[in-house]
Amino acid sequence: MQPLSNEAGTPAVASGSRNVSGQVKERAGASIAAECEILPVDHLTPCIARRTIELMTERAFHVTDVTDECLELLASCGVREGSLCVYSSHTTCAVRINEFETCFLEDFRIFMEKLVPPEAYYRHDDFEIRDPATLAGAPEDEPINGHSHIKQMLLGSASETVPIVAGQLGLGRWQRIMFIELDQARPRRIHLQVQGWR
């Protein structure tokens, strides 16, 4: 595999990174020593593998650790180098990477409930002013969940991407991949996709 080039025979180098000749670039007065490893992939086979997890959440802030399912998908497809994407297609759920620890998760729940209280007024839940075209059905069947949408936007993540290095997920020691329900008990789907080379 050849490095990317800006001009014929000139490797493209991001500002602040070490190029293939080992030179260190300067950025904003700081020297950044980041190794650029060019991996040969001519002897590897491209691969994409997918899996969908279906589950029933139990309540708001029900957190499901899906790391083991991600590891199972990676093991089954044999990808050695690439990336894993974990994606939620729900607007009141989030995918986040952090420590799966009970006290932290309870602290997080309490903080979010104080920040965006469910009992506050949200225009999203006011069916006298809301556009009827945005409703999934009749107003009486629409969930009162303006707070859940705001929490999802604050968390800012419908997906997470993790590098795959030498057949392993590049997670830190305490990092776990978590699917977070921000609304109410519902059937949900989580989409996993591995792409890379094996």
Q: What is the mean pLDDT of the chain?
A: 87
Question: What are the structural domain ranges in the chain?
Answer: 1-38, 42-125+144-197
Give the C-alpha separation, 196 to 112, whole Å.
36
pLDDT in tens, 71-80: 999 999 999 9
Give the C-alpha separation, 74 to 53, whole Å.
14
pTM here is 0.80
- Mean pLDDT (whole number) for 49-55: 98
pLDDT in tens, 125-154: 999 999 999 998 888 889 999 999 999 999
pLDDT in tens, 74-119: 999 999 999 999 999 999 999 999 999 999 999 999 999 999 999 9
Tokens of 31: 């020297």
User: Among the CATH numbers 3.30.420.40, 3.40.50.1370, 2.60.120.460, 3.90.10.10, which is that of 42-125+144-197?
Assistant: 2.60.120.460
Higher per-residue confidence, 15 vs 58: 58
Confidence (pLDDT) at 32: 60
Pairing of β 5-7 and β 10-11: antiparallel
198, 78 Cβ separation under 8 angstroms: yes
Q: Nearest-5° angle of CA 119, CA 121, CA 123?
A: 135
